[in-house]
Amino acid sequence: MYKGIIFDFNGTLFWDSKLHLEAWREFSTRVRPYAFTDAEMRKYMFGRTNEDILTYLLGKKPDAELVKKLGGEKEALYREQCRRDKENTHLAVGAVEFLDYLKENNIPRTIATMSEKDNVDFFIETFELEKWFDINKIVYADGTIPGKPSPDIYIKAAKILNLEPKECVVVEDALSGIEAAAKAGAGKIIAIASMESPDLYKKIPEVSEIIHDFSEIDTKIFSKKSPV
Q: Is pLDDT at 178 greater than 80 in this prediction?
A: yes
Residue 44: name the closest of 175, 153, 194 by CA: 175
Q: Is pLDDT at 161 greater than 50 in this prediction?
A: yes
Question: What pLDDT was estimated at residue 39?
Answer: 86
Helix count and strand count (H, E) for the chain: 9, 5
% of residues, the chain, pLDDT over 70: 98
Lowest-confidence segment of 28-37, 93-102, 157-166, 209-218 by average pLDDT:
28-37
Cβ atoms of 177 and 167 closer than 8 Å = no
> What mean pLDDT is reported for the chain?
93
Question: What pLDDT was estimated at residue 41?
Answer: 82
Question: What pLDDT was estimated at residue 222?
Answer: 96
Question: What pLDDT was estimated at residue 228?
Answer: 42
What is the pLDDT confidence band of residue 108, given thresholds at 50, 70 and 90? very high
Pairing of strands 4-7, 168-172: parallel
Pairing of strands 188-192, 109-111: unpaired
Question: What pLDDT was estimated at residue 225?
Answer: 62
Q: Measured between alpha carbons, how far is 95 from 120 in angstroms, rounded to an integer?
A: 18
DSSP run (H or E) holding 209: strand 209-211
